[in-house]
């Protein structure tokens, strides 16, 4: 390529609209981020068909909006409890006490 270097960057860049109000004069904070994270799966599907719907509010207050967004996503997708809890539940077998008595009396006879 004639000695020219071409780089492709896939990481997101800085949000120039942080702390700037939207057309209604509002800046999204923690609770708006939590709501947006909670409805993200539905919003994603709608955004495939409607280009006016976006998953993420760019007019936000920064870290608190991001934290709310991630917390909302984790509530929907099970959070950190999902993987470890499922493994623990698979190991724990609950028995009916009456079934245990029936098995024990069958072994004695």
Question: Is 85 within the bounds of a domain?
Answer: no
Domain tally, the chain: 1
Residue 43: give the domain boundaries.
24-80
Question: Is 2 within the bounds of a domain?
Answer: no
Question: Is 38 within the bounds of a domain?
Answer: yes
What distances in angstroms separate CA 1 from CA 8, 18, 105, one per listed residue?
15, 38, 83
Higher pLDDT, 58 or 108: 58
Question: Is 51 within the bounds of a domain?
Answer: yes
Helices (H) and strands (E) in the chain, counts: 5, 0
pLDDT at 18 over 60: yes
Residue written as tokens 């997708």?
77
Contact between 64 and 36 under an 8 Å Cβ cutoff? The reply is no
Question: Is 106 within the bounds of a domain?
Answer: no
Contact between 63 and 33 under an 8 Å Cβ cutoff? The reply is no
* Tens-digit pLDDT profile for residues 49-105: 999 998 888 889 999 999 999 999 998 888 666 555 555 555 555 666 666 565 555
DSSP 76-94: HHTTTHHHHHHHHHHH---
Question: Is 88 within the bounds of a domain?
Answer: no
The pLDDT assigned to 41 comes to: 92
């Amino acid at each position: 390529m004639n000695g020219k270097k071409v780089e492709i960057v896939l990481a997101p860049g800085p949000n120039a609209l942080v702390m700037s109000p939207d057309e209604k004069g509002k800046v999204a904070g923690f609770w708006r981020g939590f709501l947006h994270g909670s409805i993200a799966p539905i919003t994603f599907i709608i955004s495939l068909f409607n280009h006016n719907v976006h998953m993420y509010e760019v007019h936000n207050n920064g870290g608190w909006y991001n934290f709310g967004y991630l917390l909302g996503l984790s509530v929907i997708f099970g959070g950190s409890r999902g993987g470890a809890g499922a493994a623990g539940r698979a190991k724990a077998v609950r028995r009916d006490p009456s079934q245990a008595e029936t098995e024990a009396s069958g072994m004695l006879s």
